[in-house]
């Protein structure tokens, strides 16, 4: 079990070569380690809080200079972790950073575990658990919209909403327990409250937050979109056009694409992973057959499929087979080569696949590409009701906890309607509060905390 009574240290910047790298130290010995290793350029007396110093990190054993640095000491409780924290800004080479970290560890710190700095911030009440999880979401955000939502959670917007719900539930529980305590006595309990309606109002608020999860998951995890179609229909050209660069090889030879190519684009805040696949046709060639097998595996795992059809030819058996095997998927039916004479009509396409509106494009010249992106966005977001909200649920753990909260409240409402079951209703409300508390970490067990923070990088 990790403790917060010792001092930890880690490199807080990614591995590689850069202008600056940071070694972070947190714990009761941070200031003493600073005094042991740091030699300021000018004698400024006692170290000041949150002041940037220039000087050298030296090896106490040899007296040699390890690196020229800028250093800041942040005294508790006003630091990221809530503990005395030292940040050493070194030159950004790996060997330099590792040498400084080794001296810090020799001076009394130990290597930090993944996520241990943020875990200490949580344990010291600098962040609740949902805010701590938002740190990882902020670091790994793939689009500006994902970044904004993560930052909103980190700043406590979701926590504020949940705290308001929690306060309302405590009021309801207080009224319930008062009615239980005074059922045998002639005591006025103040104005009558319709507790059943109060609980229903809370359920409505929770369901409102839950309804944002689909959009939140899109912004956090992105959308997996596979481009499929028969050979030489323009799949690689479409990938290149959507990316705005030449990423896939394009030739007039069918079967050029054997393996799949994956790249990510941003469509109105949604990170969309595009997969270009081999053309689907009957083949006896072993490598091409293996590529086609990959196609069906990728399609099976996709959130959405772009079926590309050549508008300059009549539909073939391959086109029909591809459509039939994707009918249960979200489909964008794109008809390529709109710049050439059309050999197929929208009516014929609608007869083949009634639920997908044909969209004519030109992968070669860019016609219809903006409309294609908009079609992907619309299908992914459905009505887009919550796309601009600043509080959007993105975390599956939070979703499950809120669902359990709503279930307990539904049971409480049912028991409130039966006046003899007030004790059971109070139990249900307490159960709901426990589930709600799991999100902020108020009632979260050690195993869950270990699982959450193990997903963090070392140094954060």
DSSP letter for each residue of 58-97: E-TTT--EEEEEEEEEE-TTSSSSSS-EEEEEEEE-HHHH
pLDDT value, residue 2: 55
- The answer to whether residues 119 and 137 belong to one domain is no
Q: Are residues 138 and 120 in the same domain?
A: no
Query: Considering the domain boundaries, does residue 447 fall inside one?
Result: no
Residue at 448 is within a domain:
no
Q: What is residue 253's predicted lDDT score, i.e. its pLDDT?
A: 46
Average pLDDT score over residue span 73-80 = 94
Instruction: Please indicate, yes or no, whether residues 264 and 369 belong to a single structural domain of this protein.
Output: yes
| pLDDT tens digits, one per residue of 171-190 | 999 988 887 765 555 443 33
Distance of CA 385 to the CA centre of its chain: 20
Query: Cα(221)–Cα(359) distance, rounded to whole angstroms?
Result: 27
Domain count, the chain: 3
Question: What domain range includes position 244?
Answer: 219-381
Domain with residue 191: its CATH number is 1.20.120.430
Largest CA distance in the chain: 91
Separation CA 275–CA 227 (nearest Å): 6
Q: What is the mean pLDDT of residues 57-77?
A: 95
Same domain, 48 and 195: no
pLDDT per residue over 111-166, tens digit each? 999 999 999 999 999 999 999 999 999 998 989 989 999 999 999 999 999 999 99
Q: What's the pLDDT score for residue 256?
A: 47
Compute the distance between CA of residue 351 and CA of residue 201 in angstroms, rounded to an integer: 47
Q: Containing H/E element for 202? A: helix 195-210
pTM of the model: 0.80
- CATH code at 99? 3.30.1360.120
Regarding whether 111 and 165 lie in a shared domain, the answer is: no
Assess whether 361 and 227 both reside in one domain.
Answer: yes
The answer to which of 179-193, 326-340, 431-445 has the lowest mean pLDDT is: 179-193
233, 324: one domain:
yes
Contact between residue 404 and residue 435 where contact means Cβ atoms under 8 Å apart: yes
Evaluated on CA atoms 86, 458, 113, 222, the torsion sign reads: positive
Assigned domain for 143 exists: yes
pLDDT reported for residue 291? 63
């Amino acid at each position: 079990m990790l403790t917060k009574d010792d001092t930890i240290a880690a490199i807080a910047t990614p591995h590689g070569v850069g202008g600056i790298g940071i070694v972070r130290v947190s714990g009761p010995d941070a200031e003493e380690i600073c005094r042991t290793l740091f030699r300021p350029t000018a004698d400024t007396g006692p170290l000041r809080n949150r002041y940037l110093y220039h000087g050298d990190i030296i090896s106490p054993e040899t007296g040699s200079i390890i690196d020229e640095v800028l250093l800041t000491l942040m005294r508790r409780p006003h630091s990221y972790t809530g503990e005395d924290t030292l940040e050493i800004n070194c030159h950004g080479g790996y060997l330099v950073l590792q040498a400084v970290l080794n001296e810090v560890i020799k001076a009394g710190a130990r290597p930090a575990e993944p996520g241990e700095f943020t875990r200490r911030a949580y344990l010291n009440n600098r962040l609740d658990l949902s805010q701590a999880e938002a740190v990882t979401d902020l670091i790994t955000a793939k689009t500006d919209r994902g970044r904004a939502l993560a930052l909103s959670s980190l700043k406590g917007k979701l926590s504020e909403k949940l705290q308001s719900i929690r306060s309302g539930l405590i009021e309801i529980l207080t009224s319930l327990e008062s009615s239980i305590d005074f059922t045998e006595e002639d005591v006025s309990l103040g104005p009558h409250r319709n507790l059943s309606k109060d609980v229903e109002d809370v359920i409505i608020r929770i369901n409102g937050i839950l309804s944002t999860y689909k959009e939140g998951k899109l912004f956090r995890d992105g959308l997996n979109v596979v481009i499929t179609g028969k050979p030489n229909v323009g799949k690689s050209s479409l990938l290149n056009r959507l990316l705005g660069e030449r990423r896939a090889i394009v030739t007039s030879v069918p079967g050029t694409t054997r393996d799949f190519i994956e790249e990510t684009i941003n469509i109105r805040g949604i990170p969309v992973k595009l997969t270009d696949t081999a053309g689907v046709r009957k083949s006896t060639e072993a490598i091409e057959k293996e590529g086609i097998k990959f196609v069906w595996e990728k399609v099976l795992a996709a959130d959405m499929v772009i079926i590309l059809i050549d508008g300059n030819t009549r539909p073939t058996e391959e086109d029909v087979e591809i459509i039939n095997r994707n009918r249960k998927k979200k489909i964008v039916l794109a008809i390529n080569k709109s710049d050439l004479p059309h050999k197929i009509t929208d009516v014929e396409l609608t007869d083949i696949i009634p639920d997908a509106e044909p969209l004519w494009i030109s992968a070669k010249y860019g016609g219809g590409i903006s409309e294609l992106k908009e079609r992907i966005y619309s299908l992914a977001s459905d009505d887009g009701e919550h796309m601009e909200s600043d509080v959007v649920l993105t975390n599956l753990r939070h979703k499950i906890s809120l669902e359990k909260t709503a279930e307990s409240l539904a049971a409480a409402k049912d028991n409130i309607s039966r006046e003899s079951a007030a004790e059971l209703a109070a139990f249900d409300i307490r159960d709901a509060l426990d589930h709600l508390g799991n999100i902020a970490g108020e009632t979260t067990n050690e195993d869950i905390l270990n699982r959450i923070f193990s997903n963090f990088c070392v140094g954060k």
